[in-house]
């Protein structure tokens, strides 16, 4: 099993609104299971409370020192992010891993989007990552190195059939930002890589898109069929890669974007589905 003992991870966008396992909270659980200390950051106080309750109910977080903490912060507010990093350092120790799992979808093509909608997608999906990465760099330099993990999307790598150019542009920008950061800071022992989920079976899709189908079963069957593997991924598939990228086992992996999609992004031809049902599977 991958060992993250001694590492402090700040995991942004990793609460769970309803106590169920989404991509962000799956990563938190996997980080903790691997021995890391984790600061869970989310702008939704209820999502943090659900995460705290779910972790407190577990029996694998024993020990005298705290293994996790939670703090509310908005990636659009640099002051609140700065305070979150300070809280993490004070309670758990200097964060040497940043896991940025934030993303919103803004639907609509160029003929329907206005500039403010486009700007909102960029501010949260891309500028939010810029703010968090910039803060993380200072802590990682202090520690002599670290790992930045951004959660992008296969939608930032190729057209997925959805009508969401603002989302695609912001996620493509996140991939480029991650690679540029990796190359600029590699000599300081700081790595940066991006995970690009494809179709993941998260609680979000049940609430957001199942209404576009005759039944939940029809929705699941349709999305499973889109994957070359015949099934959607699970949040744990994304989390397992995050644990590896956070670990010393990935010490020579840098400036990469790794799809977690069953091969979907490389499949020839289009991706046929209902373009009204776009949903961000990164969260």
Catalytic residues: 167
Nearest C-alpha neighbor of 30 from the set 245, 219, 189? 245
Nearest C-alpha neighbor of 167 from the set 237, 109, 235, 232? 109
Task: Indicate the pairing of strand 8-12 with strand 97-100.
Answer: parallel
Burial-class residue 97 by CB neighbours within 10 Å (0-12, 13-18, 19+).
buried
Cite the DSSP H helix spans in 62-197: 78-91, 115-122, 128-143, 165-185
- Give the chain's largest Cα–Cα span: 57
To which H or E segment does residue 268 belong?
none
- Cβ–Cβ < 8 Å for 166, 126: no
Q: Which two tokens stand for residue 18?
A: 């309803």
């Amino acid at each position: 099993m991958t060992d993250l003992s001694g590492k402090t991870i700040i995991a942004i966008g990793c609460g769970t609104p309803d106590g169920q396992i989404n991509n962000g909270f799956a990563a938190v659980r996997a980080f903790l299971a691997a021995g890391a200390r984790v600061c869970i950051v989310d702008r939704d106080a209820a999502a943090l409370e659900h995460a705290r309750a779910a972790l407190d109910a577990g029996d694998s977080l024993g020990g005298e020192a705290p293994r996790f903490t939670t703090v509310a912060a908005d990636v659009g507010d640099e002051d609140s992010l700065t305070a979150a990093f300070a809280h993490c350092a004070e309670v758990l120790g200097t964060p040497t891993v940043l896991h940025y799992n934030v993303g919103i979808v803004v639907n609509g093509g160029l003929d329907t989007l206005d500039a403010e909608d486009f700007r909102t997608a960029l501010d949260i999906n891309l500028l939010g990552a810029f703010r968090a990465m910039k803060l993380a760099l200072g802590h990682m330099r202090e520690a002599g190195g670290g790992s930045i993990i951004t959660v992008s999307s296969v939608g930032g790598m190729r057209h997925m059939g959805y009508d969401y150019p603002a989302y695609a542009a912001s996620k493509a920008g996140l991939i480029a930002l991650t690679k540029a950061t990796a190359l600029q800071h590699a000599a300081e022992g700081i790595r940066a890589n991006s995970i690009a989920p494809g179709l993941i079976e998260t609680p979000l899709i049940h609430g957001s898109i199942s209404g576009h189908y005759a039944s939940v079963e029809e929705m699941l069957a349709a999305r499973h069929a889109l994957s070359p593997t015949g099934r959607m991924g699970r949040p744990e598939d994304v989390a397992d890669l995050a644990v590896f990228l956070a670990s010393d086992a990935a010490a020579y992996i840098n400036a990469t974007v790794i799809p977690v999609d069953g091969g979907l992004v490389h499949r020839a031809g289009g991706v046929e589905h209902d373009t009204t049902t776009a949903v961000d599977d990164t969260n």
